[in-house]
Chains A and B, each alone.
Chain A
């Protein structure tokens, strides 16, 4: 007895056979969420933003030994307009921060972000004047992958976590999940307090004055008043 026999209206095809064989229905019922999320999670196109050694591991993930095309990700999208997942692999200096932010702003919704490696996630060992202390201060991050650099398995695991996240999404939450404030474009994602607190245990740059004690004091220069504002805020 075919499945079609139990369905109202027949819906069977005696000519070519249904999806479960001759006499079975030519349609399936399912949840829209499931279908949409199934499509999304199995064709995540990564936007590779590789800046350092993590990018080498990312390339290895795409090569034949590891092969993220098994997960529908073989199409590395070198254009943000056609990408779903931003993989930030490597350290991001402040000079590159607006570039990363602009790429993120250019990606269409729905979009996700993977922070690959210690430097992208937290600045890593580069707790210095030139380095962004974690890209989550600039763009929202869905998955952090630890490692220096992470092995390709770790990247694949992180991308599978993105897939799992996609699977659990509901279209009903679309407005909430995908809300974008035009005012937030090209602005830091984290608040000022969050960013200032990043290097807290080791002393923030405004609190390391005893190390920068070179130079004798003179009356306030052109930057003096601004400097006071910054250090007090």
Chain B
């Protein structure tokens, strides 16, 4: 709020920026043709054996390599080849990144491409590696890594929900945190207004109009909907069956 001018729209061929809900319809803007390079210098690939091997094996797909926080190695990959390379990292015995710690996204704003971040850990070799793929704002699609790590299922759903990145071949790409019928966009994007795009009254109305039953799995609904059949015979009915002990005796 202190720097509204920072959020000034990029002047583009489309003309003036739209506000509020209109921004929702337009979809994302294209990224800058030459986004600013990350401020970090290229790191020495020999410091991390996996990075060395990546550069040797997939030389044309490794865009950048840098270190943050001392020894956290970050490798930027070509988003078109993410699944191929990540599968290699998972399967190759010398690397064996069997543990997918996290999948998340980063939006740096100002038209910078969105980042998909894979935080990997190799239990066999006690090595961590962070893999990033940069997606331009007008092509927010990347291959899902659920076939490699099942743990990516919900993590990718979260990235899809909050950043609007589509994961190809994901088995169940639905919103996970926001309501299924949420219509205001993807909240963690920088172009998302803090209080959402609808008025509070509209948000409240939509929230209460949600179908709560959709929160449950079909198996849970089947339990809850089981009717409890209890029959009380009417004692005053003329053809009421005799009841009580010894009625037939």
Contact = CB atoms under 8 A, between A and B. Distances in A.
Interface of A: 94-95, 97-99, 101-102, 127-130, 132-133, 137-138, 186-188, 190, 192-193, 195-196, 198-199, 204-206, 208-218, 220-224, 226-228, 230-231, 233
B16 interface: yes
Interface residues of B, number: 52
A98 B208 contact: yes
Contacts of A129: 184, 187, 192-196, 203
Contact of B25 (A130, A204, A220): A220
B205 A208 contact: no
A159 to B, nearest CB: 27
B19 A209 contact: yes
Given A129-B195, A217-B18, A227-B21, A94 B9 contact: no
B47 interface: no
B199 A231 contact: yes
A222 to B, nearest CB: 7
B16 A196 contact: no
B199 A138 contact: no
Contacts of A218: 14, 18, 22, 25-26
B208 A217 contact: no
Given A99-B212, A130-B187, A212-B19, A188 B26 contact: no
A95 B210 contact: yes
Given A102-B212, A213-B19, A214-B190, A198 B199 contact: no
Mostly, the B contact residues are loop
Interface string B32-68: 0000000000000000000000000000000000000
Nearest to A102: B212
Interface of B: 1, 4, 7-10, 12, 14-26, 28-29, 109, 177-179, 183-184, 187, 190-210, 212, 215
A121 to B, nearest CB: 15
Contact of B212 (A98, A205, A220, A223): A98
A187 B197 CA distance: 21
Given A192-B201, A212-B192, A212-B193, A217 B17 contact: yes
For B7, B28, B198, B201, the residue with the greatest tally of chain A CB atoms inside 10 Å of its CB is B201
16 contacts: A94-B207, A99-B215, A127-B195, A128-B196, A129-B184, A205-B197, A205-B199, A210-B4, A214-B17, A214-B29, A215-B26, A216-B12, A216-B16, A218-B18, A231-B199, A233-B202
Given A138-B204, A227-B197, 16 more contacts: A98-B209, A99-B212, A129-B184, A188-B204, A192-B201, A198-B200, A205-B193, A210-B4, A212-B7, A213-B17, A214-B23, A215-B23, A218-B25, A224-B22, A233-B199, A233-B201
A137 to B, nearest CB: 6
Contacts of A94: 179, 203-204, 206-207
Contacts, number: 179
For A95, A190, A212, A216, the residue with the greatest tally of chain B CB atoms inside 10 Å of its CB is A212
Contact of A196 (B26, B28, B199): B199
B179 A196 contact: no
A195 B204 contact: yes
B184 A97 contact: no
Nearest to A218: B26
Contacts of B215: 99
Contacts of A208: 193-195
A92 to B, nearest CB: 10
Contacts of A128: 194-196
Nearest to A210: B4
A207 to B, nearest CB: 9
A213 B14 contact: no
Contacts of B29: 214-216
B204 A230 contact: no
Contacts of A130: 178, 187, 196
A98 B183 CA distance: 17
Contacts of B179: 94-95
Contacts of B184: 129
B187 to A, nearest CB: 6
A216 B26 CA distance: 7
Nearest to A94: B207
Contact of B204 (A102, A132, A204, A212): A132
